[in-house]
Amino acid sequence: MIPRFRPNLGWRELLAALTPPRSEDVERFERAFADEMQQRHAVAFPYGRTGLMLLLEALGIRGMEVICPAYTCVVVAHAIVLSGNTPIFVDSDARDFNMDLDKVPAAITERTGALIATSIFGCPVDLDRLDRIRASYPRLIVIQDCAHSFAAEWNGHPVQRAGRAAIFGLNISKIVTSIFGGMVTTDDDQLAHRLRAIRQIRLRPASMGKSIRRLLYLFAVYPSFWPPFYTLVNALERAGCLARFVKYYDESLIDMPLDCMEAMTAVEARVGRVQIGRYREIIRRRRAAATEYDQLLAGRERLALPPAIAGATYSHYTVRSDARDHWLRKGIQRGVQLGSLVEYSVPELRVYRERYSSVECPVAAQLAREAINLPVTGGARGARMVVERLIRT
């Protein structure tokens, strides 16, 4: 079974995880992360969502409206709600999966606290259109959600720098991982200072128990993605036996993990530092896979390809098909695990439908039904293998 994704973890990460912890590990990871992202500050959190929640707090945004895409990871909406704000969902643009920026002005009100611009699947948000919105609303605070994009670029301009701050997710399925974890970057000295102060007050220090759990989780990841073993892991996953480890939301709850207010561990920071040092190599591989797919799949009927944008970083290579189930089944038969992320439009999830009346988001709903993620972590050769298996008659 070719896995939907495979974390790019090697012996250096393993060695880093096994080295005795030092008090400055988290700080050193932050420094390396900020340097790679060309930002003045990076502040580490246990999850990306914790970072977003405390960032909103540091920006003084409470009891306000926060604009975000309907088609995004549900944890973003959760963080908005749990920081005492109201999410305002904006429908998507089918061409690049991102928020349809033409629909943003209609969502802006007196109570708007911030706008979360997301480069979903690593497809950079259109910074020219975003600039035009900012020109009309100069006080609008823009937060870049770079959990899928990291340092994606729009016409040479890195998305993470195009706002007051950017948030990143660092779990095992992200482009770069620190086992779990999240990061907030900014060029604003005062904001970084406030964010660190709030983190100091609101997060409890990482416990020994958490460090051990993270280490064990990392040890379990290595064999899970070993190809012969992955077939079994995937069968267990499909049978629902791994739900505890892979499920990240419940349709009827707005909640956070129990350890979401416990600081990032030194183990995670050390793994993250090795990973961020390999960022460029990881991206090169993903781009090579995407280029290969672009060529091999061009012109195929009933299959819409993602836009070919030079600065995209391809957390996912996502095509659209109105016959998704057919493709997912075929994948299983032929030993290719295809993904269906993001498989929901957040305002259509039960809790959000019931508690937050919102405008219709038909494009997001369509993307939720049609998105198929092809494996990208195997590079160009992996992409050729996937197409060969899926397309042969």
Ligand X SMILES: *Cc1c(COP(=O)(O)O)cnc(C)c1O
∠ CA 10-379-302, rounded to 5°: 140
- Binding to ligand X, residues 121-180 (CB under 6 A): 145, 147-148, 169, 171
Nearer to ligand X, 65 or 145 (CB): 145
Which among 69-77, 101-109, 185-193, 236-244 is the span making contact with ligand X, rule CB under 6 A?
Answer: 69-77
- How would you classify residue 140: left for phi > 0, otherwise alpha for psi between -120 and 50, otherwise beta? beta
Write down the least CB distance from residue 53 to ligand X, Å: 9
Write down the least CB distance from residue 3 to ligand X, Å: 18
* Among candidate residues 146, 120, 143, the one with its CA nearest the CA of residue 48: 146
What is the rounded distance in angstroms from the CA atom of residue 235 to the CA atom of residue 30?
A: 38
Nearer to ligand X, 97 or 154 (CB): 97
Among 47, 89, 150, 314, binds ligand X (CB under 6 A): 47
What is the rounded distance in angstroms from the CA atom of residue 170 to the CA atom of residue 100?
A: 26
Beta partners for residue 41, in sequence order: 186
User: Could you give the string, one character per residue 185-224, with x where binding to ligand X holds by CB under 6 A and - elsewhere?
Assistant: ----------------------------------------
- Binding to ligand X, residues 261-280 (CB under 6 A): none
Among 73, 88, 159, 374, binds ligand X (CB under 6 A): 73
Nearer to ligand X, 182 or 382 (CB): 182
Among 32, 44, 61, 75, binds ligand X (CB under 6 A): 75
Kindly state the tokens that stand for 206. Answer: 């990482």
Write down the least CB distance from residue 171 to ligand X, Å: 5
Q: How many residues bind ligand X (CB under 6 A)?
A: 14
Nearer to ligand X, 289 or 342 (CB): 342
Which among 20-28, 73-81, 122-130, 273-281 is the span making contact with ligand X, rule CB under 6 A?
Answer: 73-81
Nearer to ligand X, 99 or 390 (CB): 99
Kindly state the tokens that stand for 15. Answer: 């060695």
What is the rounded distance in angstroms from the CA atom of residue 164 to the CA atom of residue 185?
A: 9
What is the rounded distance in angstroms from the CA atom of residue 42 to the CA atom of residue 301?
A: 44
End-to-end CA distance of the chain: 19
Alpha helices in the chain (DSSP H): 11-18, 25-36, 48-58, 74-82, 127-136, 189-202, 208-224, 227-238, 243-246, 266-277, 279-297, 324-333, 350-355, 362-370, 379-391
**Residue 182 interacting with ligand X (CB under 6 A):** yes
- In this structure, which amino acid lies at residue 1? M
Task: Find tokens 């729009």 and name the residue.
Answer: 154
What is the rounded distance in angstroms from the CA atom of residue 231 to the CA atom of residue 225?
A: 9
Write down the least CB distance from residue 359 to ligand X, Å: 21
Among 9, 26, 32, 76, binds ligand X (CB under 6 A): 76
Write down the least CB distance from residue 320 to ligand X, Å: 18
- What pairing do the DSSP bridges indicate for beta strands 86-90 and 112-118? unpaired
Which among 45-53, 59-67, 185-193, 199-207 is the span making contact with ligand X, rule CB under 6 A?
Answer: 45-53
User: Could you give the string, one character per residue 314-353, with x where binding to ligand X holds by CB under 6 A and - elsewhere?
Assistant: ----------------------------------------
Residue 311's alpha-carbon distances to 220, 287, 297, in angstroms, are 33, 9, 20
- In this structure, which amino acid lies at residue 146? C
Phi, psi of 380 (to 5 degrees): -65, -40
Which among 44-52, 183-191, 193-201, 351-359 is the span making contact with ligand X, rule CB under 6 A?
Answer: 44-52
Q: Which residues contact 300 (CB under 8 A, 6 or more apart)?
A: none
Neighbours of 29 (CB within 10 A): 27
Nearer to ligand X, 149 or 337 (CB): 149
Among 6, 49, 161, 273, binds ligand X (CB under 6 A): 49
Nearer to ligand X, 254 or 387 (CB): 254
Among 6, 55, 72, 270, binds ligand X (CB under 6 A): 72
Among 7, 48, 375, 382, binds ligand X (CB under 6 A): 48
Local structure of residue 94 (DSSP, 8 states): T
Which chain residues interact with ligand X by CB under 6 A?
A: 47-49, 72-73, 75-76, 118, 145, 147-148, 169, 171, 182
